[in-house]
Chains A and B, each alone.
Chain A
Amino acid sequence: MNTSAIVQTQNLTKKHGSINSVNKVDLYVQEGEIYGFLGPNGAGKTTTLKMLLGLIKPSEGTINIFGESLNKRRSTILQRTGSLIESPSYYGHLTGLENMRVMQRLRNVPDKNIHEVLRIVRLENQKDKKAEQYSLGMKQRLGIAMALLAFPKLLILDEPTNGLDPAGIGEIRELIKSLPARYGITVLLSSHMLSEIDQIATSVGIISDGNLLFQGSMESLRKKGRSAIRLKTGDNTKAEELLLTQGYSLTKGGSRLEFDNLADREVAEINRLLVEHYIPVTRIEEQKKSLEDIFLELTGKERSL
Chain B
Amino acid sequence: MIKTLGLEYYKIRRKKIWLMITLFLGVEMLWAFMSITRSIAKNPDHAVWESIVFNISSMNGLFMPIISAIVVSRICDMEHKGATWKLLVATNVRRGNLYAAKYICANSLLLFGILTQAVMMIVFGLMKGFPGTPPIEILLQFIVVNLLTTLAVTALQQWISLAIKNQTFALCLGMLGGFVGMTAGLFPGEARHIFIWSYYLDLSPVTFHYTGSTSLYITQPVGAGIVLFALAMTVLFYIAGSIHVSRQEI
Q: What are 8 A-B interface contacts by the 8 Å CB criterion? A: A53-B86, A55-B90, A87-B83, A89-B83, A90-B84, A105-B6, A106-B7, A106-B93
Taking a contact as CB atoms under 8 Å apart, the answer to whether A54 and B14 are in contact is no
A213 at the interface (CB under 8 A from B): no
Bound form: Cα–Cα A101–B11 in Å? 10
B10's contact among A86, A92, A102, by CB below 8 Å, is which? A102
Q: Enumerate B79-99 residues with CB–CB distance to A below 8 Å.
A: 81-84, 86-93
- Given the complex, which residues of A lie within 8 Å of B92, measured CB to CB? 74-75, 78-79, 106
Cβ-based interface call for B38 (8 A): no
A103 touches B86 (CB 8 A): no
Answer whether residue A56 sits at the interface, using C-beta atoms and an 8 A cutoff. Answer: yes
B residues 56-100 near A (Cβ < 8 Å) are 78, 81-84, 86-93
Say if the beta carbon of A91 comes within 8 Å of chain B.
yes
Q: Do B86 and A55 touch (CB < 8 A)? A: yes
The 9 closest A-B pairs by CB, nearest first: A89-B87, A78-B92, A55-B250, A53-B90, A56-B249, A89-B84, A89-B83, A106-B91, A83-B90
Choose from A55, A56, A105 the contact partner of B7 (Cβ within 8 Å).
A105
Instruction: Report how far A131 CA is from B78 CA in the complex, Å.
Output: 12
Nearest-neighbour CB distance to chain B for A200, whole angstroms, equals: 22
Contacts A50-B250, A87-B83, A91-B82 aside, 7 further interface pairs with beta carbons under 8 A come to A54-B89, A78-B90, A88-B83, A92-B78, A93-B15, A94-B13, A105-B7
Residues in A with CB closer than 8 Å to B42 are none
Give the shortest distance, in Å, between A16 (CB) and chain B (any CB): 10
Partner of B82, one of A54, A85, A90: A90
Residues of chain A within 8 A (CB-CB) of B10 are 98, 101-102, 105
Known: A78-B92, A102-B10, A106-B7. A92 touches B81 (CB 8 A): yes
- Residues on A with beta carbons closer than 8 Å to the beta carbon of B88: 106
Interface residues of B (CB under 8 A from A): 3, 6-7, 10-11, 13-15, 78, 81-84, 86-93, 249-250
- How many A-B pairs have beta carbons closer than 8 Å: the answer is 69
Which chain A residues border B84 with CB–CB below 8 Å? 89-91
Separation in Å of the B75 CB from the closest CB of chain A?
Answer: 12
Interface presence of A107 (CB below 8 A): yes
Q: Which residues of B contact A207 (CB under 8 A)?
A: none
B7 to A146, Cβ gap below 8 A? no
Residue contact B11 to A94, C-beta cutoff 8 Å: yes
Residues 38-60 (chain A) with a chain B CB within 8 angstroms: 50, 53-57
**How close is A244's CB to chain B, nearest CB, in angstroms?**
57
8 A Cβ contacts from A56-91 to B? 56-57, 74-75, 78-79, 81, 83, 85-91
B82 touches A92 (CB 8 A): yes
Within the complex, the shortest CB–CB distance from A133 to chain B, in Å, comes to 13
Q: CA of A102 to CA of B78 in the docked complex: distance in angstroms?
A: 13
